[in-house]
Structure formats: C-alpha cells, structure tokens
Chain A
Amino acid sequence: AQSVTQPDIHITVSEGASLELRCNYSYGATPYLFWYVQSPGQGLQLLLKYFSGDTLVQGIKGFEAEFKRSQSSFNLRKPSVHWSDAAEYFCAVVPSGGSYIPTFGRGTSLIVHP
C-alpha cells in the first residue's frame, strides 16, 4: 500500500518570502501525485498534479511542484507568498493502476506573517 509523509505540521513564513512544502511518498511504481489546498471549513481545491512527462509542474495561484523519482518526493514551491496563501496543504498519492484510491498526507498548515 502507498503512504504519504508531510514532515512539517506547521510552517511560518513572512509575506513575500519563498515557500517550500515537503512531501515524500512510498509506492512501488511512479504514482499520480497531487497537491491540494484547504481553507478553514472548506473542501479541498486542486493546486496541481503530476502523472507523467515534465517533472516540474505548474499549478494555480503561482504554485509549482517538482517530482524527484530518486528521492520519492513531490515538493510544493512558491517564489513569493501572499497573505491569502495561509491555509492547510495536502499532498496526495494515487496508484497508477487498480482502484485509484488516493492516500493523503496529514497536511501542512501554512501561517503567513505580514
């Protein structure tokens, strides 16, 4: 079975600073990889996804993520954080076959200081 690790429970950055949220996964093959964002009391919104091709993927709201097969990682980045980016971020792994059931990490809470 696949698993996802988001090692940082909370991350605090200043507005305008760069951001990197870490995600490591365990799976026997290359899975489909996703990053979602959740505002308080809301559902999850898809930021970006990777399933093949270019390992650097661009998403909405200025986010990007890089798939590194050798490190089993899919880290999320943003060059300049805005106060509105404060939210919970979830990494998810979906097997590239079978039932396509996603497994989510425990989430990273992003706090943005003015």
Chain B
Amino acid sequence: DGGITQSPKYLFRKEGQNVTLSCEQNLNHDAMYWYRQDPGQGLRLIYYSQIVNDFQKGDIAEGYSVSREKKESFPLTVTSAQKNPTAFYLCASRTGTGHAGYTFGSGTRLTVV
C-alpha cells in the first residue's frame, strides 16, 4: 500500500545534539511538508518542498534544516540551535493542486533528555 513512513516513532536527543527524522513516501507525490505539533497549538509549518532539490522555510524554520535530493525522501534535521525541540513531528505529502488533500505519516515524537 502506498503511504508515508516516518521513522523512528520515538527519538531521544541529548542537549547539543543534532538528530535527523526520516520521511519516505511511495505515493509519487511532488510536494512534501514538515509540521511541528505542540499541545493546544495545532500544526505549525517548519519546511516544505514542491519539487526535488528545492525547499522553502515555513513559519518556524529556525533551528531546523531539510534536504530533498530524491522525490521520495524529505528528511528533517533538528539542530542544536533549536532550543525547545521536544514535540511531535508530522510529515505530509500532496500531489497535484491543493484540492487533492494531504497524506500524513504517523509522526515522530522527539524528546530532549
């Protein structure tokens, strides 16, 4: 079945460490997104990519980085510059125009220890 796979499901980071969250899709979708979810704040956009080798900052990009070297993959790195990284991270993808809807992965919960 086609879908989005996020790994790992749980991730623990020490202070000062960079960590990378994986997002892979086999839907042949062009656009991919990373969202951060905190209780009571909904989903906030970190980065998005409309095509391979191109990506744009979202509303809360500081302390994060991404790459889009392959259509299927859109990894997110949480750097040590992100002061409050503990959150639930969701990856999503879209094909075609905006009315098609968005497919979400099952998320990665990142905790700073």
Contacts and interface: CB of A to CB of B under 8 A. Distances in A.
Contacts, number: 61
Contact of A100 (B31, B35, B58, B106): B31
Interface string B36-49: 00001111010010
Contacts of B92: 44
Contact of A96 (B58, B88, B94, B98): B98
**Most-contacted residue by chain A among B40, B90, B99 (CB, 10 A):** B99
A45 to B, nearest CB: 7
Interface residues of B, number: 29
B107 interface: yes
Contacts of B34: none
Given A99-B50, A101-B48, A42 B97 contact: no
B98 A100 contact: yes
B82 to A, nearest CB: 21
A45 B43 CA distance: 14
B109 A106 contact: no
A106 B42 contact: yes
Contacts of B31: 100
B98 A90 contact: no
A46 interface: yes
Given A42-B106, A43-B104, A90 B99 contact: no
Dominant SS among interface residues on chain B? strand
B63 interface: no
Contacts of B2: none
Interface string A85-109: 0000010101110011110111100
Contacts of A41: 88, 107, 109
Interface of B: 4, 6, 31, 33, 35, 40-43, 45, 48, 50, 56, 58, 88, 90, 92, 94, 97-99, 101-107, 109
12 contacts: A32-B99, A36-B104, A41-B88, A41-B107, A41-B109, A42-B106, A43-B6, A46-B102, A96-B99, A100-B97, A106-B42, A107-B42
